[in-house]
Amino acid sequence: MLDRNNQWRASAGMVPQRLHPALTRAAQDHANYMARTGSFSHHSNGGPLSRASRYGFQGLVRENIAMGQVTISEAFQSWRNSGGHWANICCDAPAAGFGYAIDSAGNGYWVGVYGYPTSLDDQREQA
């Protein structure tokens, strides 16, 4: 998913983001939660900042979620067609993490978390 994200960013003249392990764990956790519970929301399971913090990320985050798309291309196209989601993809956050899960009915849940690290440790991971 990072490759697709960075392709979209390049098309908008943005620099690539780097995969951040804590944001990836937070994104996958939320995708799993939504698939397990059917709760399609940014604010279930503690909210984006709480989830990122739970996995050790220190900083601010933005989040995209999508449900029902079958492929990465479909998920990113749905985000591209939404002003707020597109703004998150094109934000100046240097870090990102992604997750995907499928519920028992075969619905896909997609999560992208975009982070602005504030701790020195997180900034070093980006170097």
CATH at residue 37: 3.40.33.10
Total domains in the fold of the chain: 1
Question: How much of the chain is helix, strand and coil, in % rounded to 5?
Answer: 45, 25, 30
Domain membership of residue 65 (yes or no) is: yes
Residue 83 lies in a domain: no
Q: Report yes or no: 85 and 75 within 8 Å, Cβ to Cβ.
A: no
Identify whether the C-beta of residue 18 lies closer than 8 Å to the C-beta of residue 96. yes
127 residues of the chain, pLDDT tens digit each: 999 999 999 999 999 999 999 999 999 999 999 999 999 999 888 899 999 999 999 999 999 999 999 999 999 999 999 999 999 999 999 999 999 999 999 999 999 999 999 975 555 555 4
48, part of any domain: yes
pLDDT at 121: 59
**Packing angle, helices 72-80 and 2-11, rounded to 10:** 40
- Do 17 and 9 meet the contact criterion of CB atoms below 8 Å apart? yes
7 within a domain of the structure (yes/no): no
Domain of residue 40, residue span:
19-70+91-127
Is residue 6 in some structural domain?
no
In this structure, is residue 39 part of a structural domain?
A: yes
Q: How many CA atoms lie within 13 A of 1 on its CB side?
A: 28
In a domain, 46, yes or no: yes
Q: Distance between CA atoms of 1 and 117, rounded to whole angstroms?
A: 20
Residue 27 lies in a domain: yes
* CA pair distance 66, 41, nearest whole angstrom: 9
